[in-house]
């Protein structure tokens, strides 16, 4: 005897659960309620309508209720908001969004997939003005685009430097708008670390977007926004992308328990505290694979897996709940940026001792067309060498490298394993030693105490304190741009100039991308110099790291020339 | 007290060993002998000089002996062939290639990295003609290009459909030549399986190369080649790429043991049967990570790792010898093809029971520009579900997917792990369920007996035997091209047409890419139809699989229209 399943929410998690239930039991009665007018739309593609990369917003809607009925035999009702769960009667109350009429529908099993709603901070004066938009569904992006087009708006402000804000920023800029991005923290894209995102700050700046960090919006009017700093920015339309909060009101009202992170509490099977009620997607609390701590994660992949797991459990099928690692990727103009696992801040918060390898090799053989530097950062546990996280920024295939790290993390692999990992190679696609292998070599060397490094964030103070910095590049390279005060002792000459290198004080060595300096540091260390440090990332990374703050604060640069021509 | 190290061979393995020795012990005396005129050249880039992607052949040489001396303090002697190992005296005899003079050089530790030499079958009449070239070093490719340019040759034959042959074929075709590729087997690129390479056969054909399979060359003259079939092909120049054989003569003559595969036998530390003599690279025998059998592998990545391991062992450092899985990738015109681990033939040879999931999703969200089908094939052990191999062909990021499989294999992961793997997603880079996740879902469904499939290779005989084949696509799609004799019962209609589906005989269902047919097969199976099969890969894969043989044999196609417009 098949049961009756009611699903609240018709996007990623909800629709996946419904479809899976039907695949397991074609006789099941499955009802899906969605309060908006569309189901099964491509949430992640919304920003790409703004520059007409996706020309019609209709294309964002992948399935209609009619098609879902015909193909999958699913009953989907749109513009139907579930306003109440009547747990005792095992029914839900549904409101017709257009007419306001309500009715009850019984369930044997209820699935909550209400998603998360965009935060609209009441502290911002004018946050509800007609020129302020969030981007959560097709209607939102449609209204935003229409408002900009109809009112011929040239100046748009995007508030929030997370994934949605950044993607809207790119699309709007590519649509020819004057875009300002305002972010309250000292960096965009907080899943990644402060050092590696500096390249993205530069890219955003270079593409003509005004990027404002460390500032927040206090007031929005028809044609400008005012920031906490007092700064005023022209903006005819405002995209609000300051984060989301799980849609828990229905669950709270029904007395279901909410977790410590604010998401709906679920067990291993994605059941809420009422075993007849499951919850999946952006509204729930999940477990971090590495730290074992509770967290929230608004990503489509995990939502789909949760949906499948929940449906499976309804039919007595067992399932492995792995927890999440948080893998993501974004395209920001000409750069790609990807990350997985823990970043430095997350390690610190979890009290995990860690170290970092940061390499900048080419993403394919240097002789090949479009070979570009790839910034790759590997975070690993000290003293175990367990891989904790990976981050990569570059014009090329960063997602490949980070996906490999994701696979290594979920297999609880070690930097020793990564060092030996045999990956595909041909000159079009990579290098014989892939950047991930290279990072693992650096990491094992560091962990084994083969040599010592200093981090990018330490270089400025080294320069300012007059530390001994050696530039291991050739004289010609040095002349074209170098760290102020650095002494040029090329790798090709240092054995004849050993007397210039002091043994009684720290010496910091760099080259262009730390390969030549690594050789020099190794050899000096082996020759008995005990205070020699390699500067992580070397000149290329230092240039990227310093640039954006230099130009926005007007501080004195520590390099004579950034050499971005080499990027 | 530092030792004296002599290295035979100055490309990948040899030079990496030498550099690593110097990094560990800067006081070591390291001598590298190379019989050719260049060391440290980019072996893998040689074919790209033929279409002037790499304009000057000088660019292929990455390091000169002078630079190696200055930067790494290495003593490198080119045009110096080691002709004899005098094990009793611990010395080698070196011949100056230009003058013929010989002299002896002592060693404490000897490293053999002689590589592999291109096979020149004596069975081919004219194989040593001046218009026949192999592509093993810079001199080779230089001579080939010069010969073609100087003699204004328009017609070139490439013999052998392995990596080097294929890359030369692409470059020569892109340089505007009439190219014929002759391969003795029924497929190119034998690390991949017969079914998935059919796409590449089609691509090669579409790009105007004459691809001849199942035939061998018997004679070469100044302007043509004659094949075993009697066919004659115009060819002013011939590239011979029929494989390589390890350079073992030096080792054999010195009484070092050769392994069963014909490579130099080495132990865990890459020591030969003489513990003072190490061997690395293409000349040695390695161990397969999965089958534990001895094998040979001529890839740059493993050679570099062997070099590092050998050098480490010389200094008492322990090292993990993982064995090899054989990951590789190639670009063939507009298509990329990558593979790792065991293919079907290797499983059969090793007596491993296996099954295959073959999926053809889009490589990024379908709404995005340049979203293309990606053919992805996952091979896993039955009944354990252990991942054995992965292969992928498509216009997009195939290497990413195969690298993930490589990582999973080396972590001895299962299809259940792959199903749960959390990878980076955004519409530019993939889909929420990545092709590798999708393949794992198919694999687990198959392994768990959720539904049954037939392989691509079985479809033709099903058609010819008049089996019941259902096309689950919409009528419009069916009309634009379908399998001959297939009955069109769209997924959107089949519940109303169940009486047309027999229960007493096998029924084979397909759609465009097996997604809709999967739904139908699942539902029919759940409704009690016990003889329903999903056709692996569906119409897209069938078209690709049949096409090249159809056009070259003139046999009757089993489809009314291939629909390559959808590829």
pLDDT for the residue B131: 98
pLDDT in tens, A257-283: 999 999 999 999 999 999 999 999 999
β-bridge mates for residue B386, sequence order: B414
Whether the per-residue pLDDT at A1 is higher than 90: the answer is no
B420 contacts chain A (CB < 8 A): yes
End-to-end CA distance of chain B: 64
CA–CA min distance A116, chain B (Å): 18
A422 → closest Cβ in B72, B406, B421: B406
CB contact under 8 A, B408 and A404: no
Instruction: Find the closest chain B residue to A302 by CA distance.
Output: B422
Helices (H), A64-222: 65-72, 138-150, 163-174, 198-206
CB contact under 8 A, B423 and A397: no
Residue pair B338/B328 in contact (Cβ under 8 Å)? The answer is yes
List the 367-386 stretch of A: residues with Cβ below 8 A of B.
367-369
- Residues of chain B contacting residue A301, judged by C-beta atoms under 8 Å apart: 422-423, 425, 432-434, 437
Chain A hits for B362, Cβ within 8 Å: none
Of all residues in chain B, the one with the smallest CA distance to A58 is B367
CA-to-CA distance for B561 and B551, rounded, in angstroms?
A: 13
- Interchain pair B424, A338: CB under 8 A: yes
CB pair distance less than 8 Å for B327 and A59: no
Nearest to B327 among A71, A423, A519 (CB): A423
The residue in chain A having the minimum alpha-carbon distance to the alpha carbon of residue B164 is: A426
Q: Residues of A with CB below 8 A from B301's CB?
A: 422-423, 425, 432-434, 437
DSSP characters for A122-163? TTSBTTTSTTEE--SSHHHHHHHHHHHHHTT--EEEEE--SH
Picking from B26, B48, B399, the nearest residue to A526 by CB comes out as B26
Query: Domain limits of chain A?
Result: 4-37+78-117+245-314, 132-167+176-240, 334-450, 453-566
The strands making up B387-394's β-sheet, listed across from edge to edge, are B328-332, B335-341, B387-394, B374-381, B354-359
Residue B319: what pLDDT? 87
Q: What is the pLDDT of residues A377-405, one digit of tens each?
A: 999 999 999 999 999 999 999 999 999 99
Euclidean distance between CA atoms B547 and B563, whole angstroms: 11
Query: If you measure CA to CA, which chain A residue comes closest to B489?
Result: A71
The confidence score (pLDDT) of residue B12 equals 86
Nearest residue of B to residue A369 by CA position?
A: B53
Range from A60-69, A409-418, B151-160, B267-276 carrying the lowest mean pLDDT:
A60-69
B331 → chain A, closest CA residue: A428
CATH classification of B4-37+78-117+245-314 is 3.50.50.60, yes or no?
Answer: yes
Contact B327 A53 (CB under 8 A): no
Hey, of A47, A163, A407, which one would you mutate to test binding to chain B, going by the most B CBs within 10 A of its CB?
A: A407
Helix axes B398-410, B435-447, angle to 10 degrees: 50
- CA distance linking residue A516 with residue B71, whole number of Å: 8
Does B404 contact A402 at a Cβ distance shorter than 8 Å? no
Determine the distance in angstroms separating the CA of A394 from the nearest CA of chain B, rounded to an integer.
14
ipTM of the assembly? 0.97
Write the Ramachandran bin of B538: left for phi over 0, alpha for psi from -120 to 50, otherwise beta: left
What average pLDDT does range A201-222 have in this prediction? 98
Q: Would you state the structure tokens that stand for residue A307, as one six-digit string?
A: 């949906």
Q: Does the beta carbon of A449 lie under 8 angstroms from any beta carbon of chain B? A: no
Interface mutation vs chain A, best among B64, B401, B422, most A CBs within 10 Å: B422
What is the per-residue pLDDT for A372? 95
Cβ-based contacts under 8 A for chains A and B: 241
Q: Is B135 on the interface with A (CB under 8 A)?
A: no
Length of chain A, in residues = 567
Q: Does A119 touch chain B (CB under 8 A)?
A: no
Split at pLDDT 50, 70, 90, the class of A565 is confident
Would you state the structure tokens that stand for residue A375, as one six-digit string?
């910034």
**How far is residue B346's CA from residue B356's CA, in Å, rounded to a whole number?**
13
Q: Give the model confidence (pLDDT) of A310-347 as tens digits.
A: 999 999 999 889 999 999 999 999 999 999 999 999 99
Residue A407 at interface with chain B, using a CB cutoff of 8 Å: yes
Q: Which stretches of chain B score pLDDT less than 70?
A: none
> Which pLDDT does position B110 carry in this prediction?
98
Tell me the chain A residues in contact with residue B327 when contact means C-beta distances shorter than 8 Å: 422-425
Interface contact flag, B368 A53, Cβ < 8 Å:
yes
Which chain A residue is nearest to residue B46, measuring alpha carbons?
A: A427
Give the H/E segment covering residue A307. helix A300-314
**Amino acid B100: pLDDT:** 97
Beta strands B532-535 and B80-86 are unpaired
DSSP A11: S
Return the H-helix or E-strand segment holding A389. Answer: strand A387-394
CATH of the structural domain B334-450, one choice from 3.30.390.30, 3.60.15.10, 3.90.1300.10, 3.40.50.970: 3.30.390.30
The answer to whether the bond into A25 is cis (omega within 30° of 0) is no
Going by pLDDT thresholds of 50, 70 and 90, the confidence category of residue A563 is: confident
- CATH number for A132-167+176-240: choose from 2.40.110.10, 2.60.40.10, 3.50.50.60, 3.30.70.1450: 3.50.50.60
A280, A288 in Cβ contact below 8 A? no
Substitution target in A280, A390, A423, A501 with the highest count of B β-carbons within 10 Å is A423
CB B430 to CB A399 under 8 A? yes
The C-alpha atoms of residue B516 and residue B361 are separated, in whole angstroms, by 12
Count other C-beta atoms under 10 Å from residue A233's C-beta. Answer: 18
Contacts of A23 in chain B (CB under 8 A): 519, 522-523, 526
Is the peptide bond between A163 and the residue preceding it cis, with omega within 30 degrees of 0?
no
Q: Is B433 on the interface with A (CB under 8 A)?
A: yes
CB contact under 8 A, A403 and B397: no
pTM of the model: 0.97
Contact A44 B432 (CB under 8 A): yes
Asked if the domains at A4-37+78-117+245-314 and A132-167+176-240 fall in one CATH topology, the answer is yes
Domain A453-566, what fold?
Oxidized Rhodanese; domain 1 (3.40.250)
Residue B316 in contact with partner chain A when CB distance is under 8 A: no
CB contact under 8 A, A305 and B72: no
DSSP state of A566: G
Please report residues of A whose CB lies closer than 8 A to that of B527. 26
Distance separating alpha carbons of residues A285 and A293, to the nearest angstrom: 10
Residue B369: its chain A contacts at CB < 8 A? 53
d(CA A494, CA B70): 9
Across A193-216, average pLDDT: 98
Q: Chain A contacts of B374, Cβ < 8 Å?
A: none
Query: What is the predicted pLDDT for the residue at B567?
Result: 79
Q: Which residues of A touch B22 (CB under 8 A)?
A: 523
Q: Smallest CA–CA separation between A234 and chain B, in Å?
A: 31
CB B453 within 8 A of CB B447: no
Element (H, E) at A378: strand A374-381
B 143-172 residues inside an 8 A Cβ radius of A:
163
Set of chain B residues whose Cβ sits within 8 Å of the Cβ of A303: 432
User: Which residues of A fall within a CB distance of 8 Å from B25?
Assistant: 526
- The answer to whether B264 contacts chain A (CB < 8 Å) is no
Of A26, A400, A492, the CB nearest to B71: A492
Q: Percentage of residues in chain A with pLDDT exceeding 70?
A: 100
């Amino acid at each position: 005897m098949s049961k009756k399943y009611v699903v609240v929410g018709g996007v990623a998690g909800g629709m996946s659960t419904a479809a899976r239930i039907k695949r397991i039991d074609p006789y099941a009665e499955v009802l899906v309620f969605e309060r908006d007018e569309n189901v099964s739309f491509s949430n992640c593609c919304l920003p790409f309508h703004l520059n007409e990369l996706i020309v019609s917003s209709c294309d964002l809607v992948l399935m209609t209720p009619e098609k879902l009925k015909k193909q999958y035999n699913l009953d989907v009702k749109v513009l139907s908001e579930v306003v109440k769960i009547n747990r005792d009667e095992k029914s839900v109350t549904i409101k017709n969004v257009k007419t306001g009429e309500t009715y009850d529908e019984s369930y044997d099993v209820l699935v909550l997939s209400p998603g998360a709603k965009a935060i609209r901070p009441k502290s911002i004066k004018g946050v509800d003005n007609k020129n302020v938009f969030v981007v959560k569904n097709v209607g939102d992006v449609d209204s935003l685009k229409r408002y900009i087009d109809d009112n011929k708006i040239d100046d748009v402000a995007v508030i929030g430097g997370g994934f949605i804000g950044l993607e809207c920023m790119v699309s709007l800029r590519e649509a020819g708008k004057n875009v300002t991005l305002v972010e309250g923290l000292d960096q965009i894209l907080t899943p990644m670390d402060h050092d590696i995102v500096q390249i993205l700050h530069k890219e955003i700046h270079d593409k003509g977007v005004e990027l404002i960090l460390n500032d927040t919006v206090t007031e929005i009017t028809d044609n400008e926004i005012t920031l906490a700093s007092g700064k005023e920015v022209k903006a005819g339309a405002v995209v609000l992308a300051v984060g989301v909060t799980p849609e828990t009101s229905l669950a709270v009202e029904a007395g279901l328990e909410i977790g410590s992170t604010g998401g709906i509490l679920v067990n291993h099977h994605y059941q809420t505290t009422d075993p007849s009620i499951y919850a999946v997607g952006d509204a729930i609390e999940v477990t971090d694979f590495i730290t074992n701590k509770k967290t929230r994660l608004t990503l489509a992949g995990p939502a789909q897996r949760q949906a499948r797991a929940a449906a499976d459990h309804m039919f007595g099928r067992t399932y492995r709940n792995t927890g999440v690692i948080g893998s993501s990727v974004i395209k920001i103009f000409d750069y790609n940026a990807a990350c997985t696992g823990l970043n430095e801040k997350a390690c610190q918060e979890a009290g995990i001792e860690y170290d970092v390898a940061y390499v900048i090799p080419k993403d394919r053989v240097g002789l090949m067309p479009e070979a570009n530097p790839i910034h790759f950062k590997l975070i690993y546990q000290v003293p175990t060498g367990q891989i904790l996280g990976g981050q990569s920024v570059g014009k090329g295939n960063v997602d490949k490298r980070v996906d490999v790290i994701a696979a290594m993390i979920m297999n609880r692999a070690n930097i020793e394993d990564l060092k030996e990992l045999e990956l595909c190679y041909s000159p079009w696609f990579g290098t014989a030693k892939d950047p991930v292998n290279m990072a693992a070599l650096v990491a094992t060397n560091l962990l084994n105490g083969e040599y010592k490094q200093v981090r990018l964030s330490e270089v400025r103070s080294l320069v300012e304190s007059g530390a001994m910095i050696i530039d291991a590049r050739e004289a010609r390279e040095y002349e074209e741009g170098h760290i102020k005060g650095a002494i040029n002792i090329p790798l090709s000459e240092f054995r004849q100039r050993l007397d210039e290198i002091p043994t009684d004080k720290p010496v910091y060595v760099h080259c262009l991308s730390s390969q030549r300096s690594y050789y020099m540091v190794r050899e000096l260390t082996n020759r008995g110099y005990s205070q020699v440090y390699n500067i992580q990332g070397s000149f290329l990374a230092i240039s990227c790291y310093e640039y954006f703050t230099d130009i926005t604060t007007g501080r004195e640069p520590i390099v004579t020339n950034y050499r971005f021509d080499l990027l």
